[in-house]
Chains A and B, each alone.
Chain A
Amino acid sequence: MTSTIRQMTTKGTPYFFLLPGLVILGALLSVPLYKVVEYSLYDNVIVERNPTYVGLANYQTLLTDPGYWSAGLNTLLFTVGSVLGHMVVGIGLALLVNADIAPRARTFFRSMLVLPWIFTAVVVALNWQLLLNPFGLINYILQWMGLTTEPLDWLGDPNLAMWSLLLISTWRGYPFIMVSFLSGLQTVPRELYEAAEIDGAGFWSKFWHVTLPQLKPVIYGVALLDLIWTFQLFPLVWLSTGGGPGRATEVLSTLTFRLAFVDFQFSQAATVAVSILIISAAFTLLYLRNEARRL
């Protein structure tokens, strides 16, 4: 009897120490979560002193709103495009800075290349606005190289804005991928590359048959994580284009913000937020399953 109690207390002790953290974390997560779901079931909240329960009416409105679907499509484009951009640039640069060059140069390049990561979204957005301005550096270079004749309004032309945004997002987000891959690359045994070299593999074959398979678990995990982050990315989009021109770069997160803080339609905003939540949760489940499998 006493031994059972002792066993229970010894077993319980670690959880006991976790308790305050769990309670705080639980409260911080569950209260807003609960609130958002609740908000989405009323006609409007915060600005409405006496909200009326409307059930799923907001969801119905949302699903029949072309603006929602176009923001959804933009989100898909932006997310997939950004993650692809991050992957390609991140892996490419990781390979480059993993190369066998003078250690000091390597350290220099490695630190330079993670720089985009440390800037806040405000700074990134402002810098790129200046670069992409019709009178900015990028237009200047393009015209100087003879690639364009007229200055292009990269962020103001609906046909170009999403591409420009992807460029900015790629620039901003690749360092995380690069750093993850760099540490992954360093765990690939050198002998594998040597064996491949003797087997006659060139750069691409080595990359395809040795590097990629070795990095596959890392790639999958990092890509999912990046997907989850990018999917709900808000500040960079809001500050770079504000969803415009028109609604050409409106994504679900900016739509949420616009509904909430521009239009004061908090319940409608909560409804969009819940839809983001559901999709993010699905990605997160995938990610957790992947992590569990790796362990």
Chain B
Amino acid sequence: MIKTRMTAFALAAATALTPLAAQGEIEWLQWFAAENTDGFYDELVADFEAKHPDITVKLVTQPFGKVRESIVTDSAIGVGSDVLGLNMPWTKEFLDIGILEPLDDYLARDDNSFATGDLVEAPLGKIDGHTWMVPLNAFPFVMHVNMGLVREAGFDAPPATWAELSAQTSAISALQDGTSGIGMPFSSQPPSNGPILTFLPLLYANGGRIMDGTTPNFDNPKVVETLQYLKDMNDAGGMAPGAASRTGGVDLEEFIAGRTGFLISPGVHSSSITSRNPELDYTLVRVPSNGENAYRVHGWEIGISADSANKEDAWTFVNYLLSPEVNARAAKAANALPGNLKALDAVREGADETLIKQMDILSGDTPVEEMRQSPKAVGSWSVMTEEIQAMLRGDQTPAETATAVQARWIELAK
């Protein structure tokens, strides 16, 4: 009964909210344009419309923090957009609700502008037997380095191993009041995703994982070892104080301002670092390894809404975005690597040193992506954040932390 009523309500709302949902018009909800200020996406849409006069694209831009909410609530009341900007960790949740359209049939067509085999692999992996999204771009998690502080602390190269990282962070923290070796953004403030920004890349470089297929597997020796590493680094003073209130934003700002030696974050941040503080003696390296050359891969993904009334047009647009030529432009605009690897050469041309370094990481190391299959991914970050906070405070051991996260995550996923 509630269903019929909800449908009625949704229909009423839909008619009220989208009176112009005419044939040939598609909506693209994403946050990409919010992180780009030079109007690239408006031009992109205009270019597409010029090539496809029968289709118009409405660009709906929201800040990253709002997009997940919007996709769910819009879909619930039936006003969802046709093409969706996606973040891999959301996948499982969206599948449970049935928001996404399987893309297998579209990818199998022979008139596509790209070859499926050329796309970055991670987002394509099948869940429940289907592929749900395609990559617009990709970037590895890297470690940004303030070479000035590294040298001041008496080292001539950035750290490549965990041991070197420990030594250098402590040494940089000891330099003077106000500088710290590394920042760890373990604040509860939304999106509260510090663990996947910093802890996971370190874990992967240690050869660890937090998922066993589609089941959470946080309570394992590699995780405990990595937690112990964080704890030791904090106890040795290598970590900036106030991790429990440090947001990702503040962490980035502090690095840009030259007050932290290292920052583990997506490679795309290199462009804002160099443009905001050109004075910084800056470079980037792979996340220091403890035996494994693996990196957390991330990117901006694209999917199609299961409720879309214009799936054909929506695919036409997605198809356009993935063509090597367009994809190269989109990657350059975001200072990221292309989702279609055919575009790599085009992107490499004129690319700066930091982008080249990312390409090297991308081509040599093992990509890892676990969040796509993770149940209640967003909720699980909060849980990890809270438990790591308690560990850094000294309230629990790394082993207890791993057990606590595992228990709470399983409870959450029920």
Contact = CB atoms under 8 A, between A and B. Distances in A.
Interface of A: 38, 42, 45-47, 49-51, 53, 129-130, 132-135, 151, 153-158, 161, 238-247, 258, 261-264
Contacts, number: 108
Contacts of B250: 129-130, 133
B188 A133 contact: no
26 contacts: A38-B2, A45-B6, A45-B76, A46-B72, A46-B97, A49-B98, A53-B2, A134-B240, A151-B242, A155-B244, A156-B246, A156-B389, A158-B393, A241-B188, A241-B245, A242-B187, A242-B188, A244-B187, A244-B189, A245-B188, A245-B386, A261-B72, A262-B378, A262-B379, A262-B382, A263-B376
A244 B192 contact: yes
B190 A155 contact: no
A156 B379 contact: no
A264 B386 CA distance: 19
Interface residues of B, number: 38
**Residue among B68, B69, B189, B385 with the most chain A CB within 10 A?**
B189
Interface in B340-395: 376, 378-379, 382, 385-386, 389-390, 393
Given A51-B2, A245-B386, A46 B187 contact: no
Nearest to B68: A261
Given A51-B2, A241-B188, A244-B187, A153 B386 contact: no
Given A49-B98, A154-B245, 8 more contacts: A46-B72, A47-B93, A157-B244, A241-B245, A242-B190, A244-B187, A246-B386, A247-B386
A45 B379 contact: no
A198 B238 CA distance: 66
Nearest to B98: A49
Contact of A153 (B6, B242, B259): B242
B412 interface: yes
A244 B244 contact: yes
Contacts of A49: 3, 97-98
B76 A46 contact: yes
A261 B189 contact: no
Between A50, A157, A242, the greatest number of chain B beta carbons within 10 A of the residue's beta carbon is seen for: A242
Interface string B244-282: 111100100000000100000000000000000000000
A132 B245 CA distance: 9
Contact of A258 (B72, B241, B242, B382): B382
Interface string B315-352: 00000000000000000000000000000000000000
Contacts of A242: 187-190, 192
Interface string B1-42: 011001000000000000000000000000000000000000
B120 interface: no
A263 B98 contact: no
A47 B99 CA distance: 9
B223 interface: no
Contact of A133 (B96, B189, B242): B242
A264 B240 CA distance: 33
Given A244-B385, A263-B412, A153 B244 contact: yes
B97 to A, nearest CB: 4
A156 B187 contact: yes
B146 to A, nearest CB: 16
A130 B242 CA distance: 12
A74 to B, nearest CB: 13
A156 B242 contact: yes
B243 interface: yes
A157 to B, nearest CB: 7
Nearest to B177: A135
Given A244-B389, A246-B389, A47 B244 contact: no
Contacts of A129: 189, 245, 247, 250
Interface string B172-196: 0000001000000001111010000
Interface string B157-179: 00000000000000000000010
Contacts of A132: 245
Contacts of B6: 45
B73 interface: yes
Contacts of B390: 246
Nearest to A46: B76
A247 B188 CA distance: 9
